[in-house]
């Protein structure tokens, strides 16, 4: 695997690969790689000739400086995992490489209500930071395919809006959520949970599976109430939201027939760790 830190070198190599007819896949990450990230690499390897992974802990998408500082950076281990996965190129830029004018000089995008809804409401400015970093990566790598996890469902919606607005030819490929044995969605932040908290956090996925298995038996408001009660019964859990949304438009739905596809999205804090999960119903 080639490791490059400079955008210009990365751009030159990808241009060369493309000139020889290679189809390019990009997997953007913040590192501390786990099986969820590696599933994206695997998908990209299957569908492209050249797979690029980026590792960059993006300062502009964090709301709390403490969360940014504490974000794990096991770079050597990540490189080993990417080599095993036979990733072709790791782009490992530093902050100046991506934000040459500094992190306060951000571009503004018209992401609409998505920017201020659910995750956007709880994390002001988060999606502006995500859009800024992904826009910059897309300009450097110009991938044919961009691999994103369903785990961050609203992020996928935001990036779909960005691609449309900026007229990028890149296609988004959304990959399924990889889970731990108790159902907990894999996340680099799970490392910050104690063993007991991690066990308890399995209750979030159990609630989503309960919804998936029962939604035809209840009205939506009733099932939402029951599900919220389940989450609230998890020790140390503080529910931020559990919302039923149109999976395409990503707007709230209040009955089963008001959308062709429904996704249930939730954000729950267990002690100080904020966890996201979701499930597609139909
Ligand atoms: P992150 O490093 O957390 O920014 O995540 C990088 C990419 O990996 C994003 O597209 C995430 O949605 C995806 N991802 C994170 N966790 C998982 C998971 N458990 N299963 C599948 N994809 C994931």
Task: Residue 39: give its domain's CATH number.
Answer: 3.40.50.620
Same domain, 40 and 62: yes
CA 269 to chain centre: 17
Quote the ligand 1 centre to 36 CA distance (angstroms): 6
Q: Which of 133, 148, 175 is the last residue of a domain?
A: 175
Pick from 28, 34, 37, 276 the residue to mutate for probing ligand 1's pocket: most ligand atoms within 8 Å of its CB: 37
CA 187 to ligand 1: nearest atom: 16
The residue whose CA has the least distance to atom 17 of ligand 1 is 36
Neighbours of 245 (CB within 10 A): 22
Task: Output the CA 158–ligand 1 centroid distance in Å.
Answer: 15
Domain identity same for 224 and 113: no
Percent over 70 (pLDDT), the chain? 100
Please check whether residues 158 and 247 belong to one and the same domain: no
Residues 151 and 243 in one domain: no
Q: Which of 37, 110, 126, 282 is catalytic?
A: 37
Closest ligand 1 atom to 31 CA: 2
Give the helix ranges, DSSP H, for 123-258: 126-141, 153-165, 195-214, 220-232
Contact predicate 18/24, CB 8 Å: yes
Could you tell me if residue 158 is inside a domain?
Answer: yes
* Token digits of residue 120: 């956007």
pLDDT tens, residue by residue, 238-272: 999 999 999 999 999 999 999 999 999 999 999 99
Ligand 1 midpoint to CA 92 (Å):
17
158 and 64 housed in the same domain: yes
Q: Tell me the C-alpha distance between 62 and 49, whole Å.
A: 33
What is the tens place of the pLDDT at every residue in 124-165? 999 999 999 999 999 999 999 999 999 999 999 999 999 999
Ligand 1 within 6 A of CB of 175 = yes
Mean pLDDT of 29-53: 98
Distance from C-alpha of 45 to C-alpha of 86, rounded to nearest angstrom = 8
Whether 273 lines ligand 1, by a CB cut-off of 6 Å, is: no
Query: 182 lies in a domain?
Result: no
Do 51 and 127 have their domain in common?
yes
The per-residue pLDDT of the chain, averaged, comes to 97
For the segment 46-74, the average pLDDT, to the nearest whole number, is 96
Domain around 96:
2-175
Q: What is the predicted pLDDT for the residue at 216?
A: 86
Query: Domain for residue 123, yes or no?
Result: yes
Whether 181 is in a domain gets the answer: no
- With a 6 Å cutoff on the Cβ, whether 30 touches ligand 1 is yes
Q: Are 28 and 134 in contact (CB under 8 A)?
A: yes
State both tokens at 263.
């996704």
Residue 198 has pLDDT above 90, yes or no: yes
Does residue 37 have an active-site annotation? yes
Together in a domain, 157 and 248: no
Reported as a single tens digit per residue, the pLDDT across 63-104 is: 999 989 989 999 999 999 999 999 999 999 999 999 999 999
**Is the predicted pLDDT of residue 282 greater than 90, yes or no?**
no
Are residues 152 and 226 both part of a single domain?
A: no
> Is the C-beta atom of 186 inside 6 A of ligand 1?
yes
Structural domain contains residue 183: no
The number of domains in the chain is 2
Q: Give the three-class secondary structure for 247.
A: coil
158 lines ligand 1 (CB under 6 A): no
């Amino acid at each position: 695997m080639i490791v490059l830190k400079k955008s210009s070198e990365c751009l030159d190599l990808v241009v060369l690969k493309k000139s020889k007819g290679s189809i390019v896949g990009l997997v953007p990450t913040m590192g501390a790689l786990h099986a969820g990230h590696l599933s994206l690499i695997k998908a990209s390897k299957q569908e492209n000739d050249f797979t690029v992974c980026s590792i960059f802990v993006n300062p502009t998408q964090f709301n709390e400086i403490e969360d940014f500082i504490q974000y794990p950076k096991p770079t050597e281990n990540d490189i080993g995992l990417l080599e095993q996965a036979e990733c072709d190129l790791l782009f490992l830029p530093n902050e100046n490489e991506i934000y040459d004018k500094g992190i306060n000089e951000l571009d503004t995008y018209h992401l609409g209500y998505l920017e201020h809804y659910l995750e956007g409401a709880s994390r002001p400015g988060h999606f502006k930071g995500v859009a800024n970093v992904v826009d910059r990566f897309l300009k450097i790598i110009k991938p044919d395919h961009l691999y994103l996890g369903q785990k961050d469902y609203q992020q996928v919606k935001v990036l779909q809006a960005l691609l449309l607005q900026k007229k990028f030819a890149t296609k988004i490929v959304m990959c399924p959520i990889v889970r731990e044995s108790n159902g907990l969605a894999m996340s680099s932040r799970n490392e910050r949970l104690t063993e007991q908290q991690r066990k308890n956090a399995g209750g979030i996925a159990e609630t989503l599976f309960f919804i998936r298995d029962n939604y035809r038996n209840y009205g939506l408001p009733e099932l939402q109430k029951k599900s919220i009660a389940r989450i609230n019964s998890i020790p140390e859990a503080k529910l931020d939201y559990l919302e039923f949304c149109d999976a395409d438009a990503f707007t709230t739905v209040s009955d089963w027939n008001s959308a062709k596809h429904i996704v249930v999205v939730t954000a729950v804090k267990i002690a100080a760790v904020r966890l996201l999960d979701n499930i597609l119903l139909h």
